[in-house]
Amino acid sequence: MKTDIFLKKIINLMFISVLLLSAIQVRGAILDTNTTSSITNNVQVLQTTAGYYPNVTVGYVVATVIKTFLGLLGVIFVVLIVIAGFKWMTAEGDEEKIKKATATISNAAIGLIIVIAAYAITYFVFKSLPMGQTISGTSG
């Protein structure tokens, strides 16, 4: 008696499983290429709206941060040169002011050389990485 009930449960479970699997396959067959491409487009729009970009890698983000930081250092260099030039032009022959302005220009030039060297090193490192990300963010 218990065996008959157990067998009926197994047969019912198998029958329900077959029905579910066939329903899933029919559902998959109903989705044609237009529906699939529409779903894909909607998912891409949702990702972009949410700020998720699947093609952006960690290397790309790091390269962008370094590029931005080095660009900021370049702007600082230009500002220092302009300030030092202004101080030199307004020194009115005062040797002390001229020495300070010359020292500022020299230090800014040394800083620029360091920034260019840092850019060259990071460019080389990112170019050598397996993902091939350059400092400009393009694949190389």
Neighbours of 87 (CB within 10 A): 16
Question: What tokens appear for 61 in the block?
Answer: 């983000």
**133 bridge partner residues:** 139
pLDDT at 97: 92
Distance CA 90, CA 80 (A): 15
pLDDT at 25: 56
Q: What is the percent of the chain with per-residue pLDDT over 90, rounded to a whole number?
A: 22
What's the whole-number mean pLDDT along residues 108-129?
Answer: 85
Residues 89/105, Cβ–Cβ less than 8 Å: no
Q: What is the percent of the chain with per-residue pLDDT over 70, rounded to a whole number?
A: 74
What's the whole-number mean pLDDT along residues 120-135?
Answer: 71
Question: What tokens appear for 108 in the block?
Answer: 């800014």
Distance CA 36, CA 1 (A): 50
Residues 87/99, Cβ–Cβ less than 8 Å: no
Confidence bin at 8 (pLDDT 50/70/90): confident
What's the whole-number mean pLDDT along residues 54-61?
Answer: 74
